[in-house]
Amino acid sequence: MRTLSVKIINQSKYDLPSYATSGSAGMDLRANIETALVLQPMERQLVPTGLFMELPDGYEAQVRPRSGLAIKQGLTCLNSPGTIDADYRGEIKVILVNLSGEQQTIQPGDRIAQMVVQPVTRVEWEPVAAINETERNAGGFGHTGKA
Domain boundaries, the chain: 8-119
Asked whether the predicted pLDDT for residue 146 surpasses 90, the reply is no
Q: What is the mean pLDDT of residues 17-34?
A: 96
Q: How does residue 147 score in pLDDT terms, banded at 50, 70 and 90?
A: low
pLDDT digits (tens, 9 = 90+) for 52-86: 999 999 999 999 999 999 999 999 999 999 999 99
Domain 8-119 is classified in which CATH homologous superfamily?
Deoxyuridine triphosphatase (dUTPase) (2.70.40.10)
Residue 112 burial by CB count (10 A; 0-12/13-18/19+): exposed, middle or buried?
Answer: buried
The span from the CA of 58 to the CA of 31, in Å, is 27
